[in-house]
Structure 1
Amino acid sequence: MANSKTDPRVIKTRNNLKKALVQLMKQYKVENISVQKITEKASITRGTFYLHYKDKQDFIERSLSEILDDFFDAVMIDGTDYLPAINTDEPIRVFSQQRAFKYIENEAETFDVLINNQENEPFFDHLYARLADYLQKFHQQVGAQFAELGVPVNLEISFIVSAELGLIKNWLRDGMIYTPRYMTQSIDKIFSQINCSGIFFTDFFVDENQNML
């Protein structure tokens, strides 16, 4: 039997279930979404559902985690070309703004429901925490080359994450009237106004196209 993580049939079933969940979350609170509603929306049997998940809670938690995994897998890139030489045991990964906005544009229904629907606050909290964790690791890897502002690192991270996700929330809420490229350039301009002698959290967010000029 093929590995469940790579079996095309398994992947297709789970993707259909995730799409069904997102569509239902536009109409119902999570607690009002039953396994029956999910399976009917995804056009699969309850038996098939329970082959993949223990129960509704297991399905929701794993589905939302997979959505975040897929997002960060798509937008995190090697930071070698964007940072000064840093002595570290493992490559420093940075966040590609262009890839992030393009990915969200392609998955707009999913992210709009999960980020802007007040009923889905836990997803936003997980997204916030995941991005904050990446920034914390970035700070640790940069080490002595990191800019010292005299402000607790947790406050700096909170400020940057809130700004980044706030822009994404509003961009989605406004119907994505600006292109991913324009959003990338705009954030790059805003972040460039934060002047630091050294590497700062704003250097974690990169514009790939700008680096190619």
Structure 2
Amino acid sequence: MAKVDRRILKTQESLKKAVIELMSEKKFDDITIQDIADRANVNRGTIYLHYQDKYDLLDKIIESLINELKEMDAWACEMDWTDALVPYFEYFEKNHLLFSTMLATKGAPASFRTRLLASFMEGFKGEIDRESGKNADLHDDVMLQFAGTAYVGVIEWWIRNGMPYPPKVMAKQVGALLARTL
């Protein structure tokens, strides 16, 4: 795979940062390409070299975020819940502005929450405990919806409330709850 020019990466990162900052200030629908260009300190034409429009830019940001989380899924499946969740909560903390904007602010596109939920539910599929008998009478789709929605809801709560507990505490708490559920 060809290496992407650092200038392109720097421009794309600047555009991503600009969109996230602007979304923390006003609704996405009220943000213009000129707003993004001004905040990122680039020419409007530069945005169109990389993206079709602001919706394409946002979609690429969401896609990138979901892909980063999926990469974490690959090795997390080998661990117990608590150990597996620590890197996620550390990631959420490190990317606080992004997650607080995309999950916890009004006017943020619902597509992010929907895609995040779908990603977590997909990751939980292989975690359903059928051997112990505790889930014998439960349907997989109901359990996945319940666990995924609860997980996203806890992340939203944690971010909205200023991350009152450190990532390791959250991982332990949520890990215990998911272990009981799945």
Partner of 1:118: 106
- The 2-side partners of 1:25 and 1:11 are apart by 21
Shift of residue 37, structure 1, vs aligned partner? 0.5
Aligned AA for 1:151? L
The gaps in structure 1 that reach 5 residues or longer are 84-94, 195-199, 202-213
Aligned AA for 2:113? F
More helix by share: 2
Q: TM-score, normalised by structure 2?
A: 0.86
Structure 2 counterpart of 1:172, from 148, 151, 159: 159
Larger Rg: 1
Structure 2 counterpart of 1:72, from 70, 73, 95: 70
Aligned AA for 2:95? E
The gaps in structure 2 that reach 5 residues or longer are none
Indicate conservation of the 8 Å contact 1:20/1:42, yes or no: yes
Indicate conservation of the 8 Å contact 1:75/1:97, yes or no: no
- The 2-side partners of 1:154 and 1:112 are apart by 28
Shift of residue 113, structure 1, vs aligned partner? 0.7
Cα pair distance change 1:146/1:29, threshold 3 Å: farther
Partner of 1:152: 139
Indicate conservation of the 8 Å contact 2:76/2:84, yes or no: no
Indicate conservation of the 8 Å contact 1:75/1:99, yes or no: no
Shift of residue 51, structure 1, vs aligned partner? 1.1
Query: In the alignment, does 2:132 pair up with 1:134?
Result: no
Secondary structure of the 1:118 match is coil
- The 2-side partners of 1:174 and 1:144 are apart by 35
Aligned AA for 1:8? R
- Identical counterparts, % of pairs: 25
- The 2-side partners of 1:24 and 1:37 are apart by 8
Q: TM-score, normalised by structure 1?
A: 0.74
- The 2-side partners of 1:12 and 1:170 are apart by 32
Indicate conservation of the 8 Å contact 1:75/1:100, yes or no: no
Structure 2 counterpart of 1:40, from 24, 38, 41: 38
More strand by share: 1
What's the Cα RMSD here? 2.6
Structure 2 counterpart of 1:19, from 14, 17, 23: 17
Shift of residue 145, structure 1, vs aligned partner? 5.0
Shift of residue 135, structure 1, vs aligned partner? 2.4
- The 2-side partners of 1:163 and 1:144 are apart by 20
Shift of residue 144, structure 1, vs aligned partner? 7.1
- The 2-side partners of 1:37 and 1:24 are apart by 8
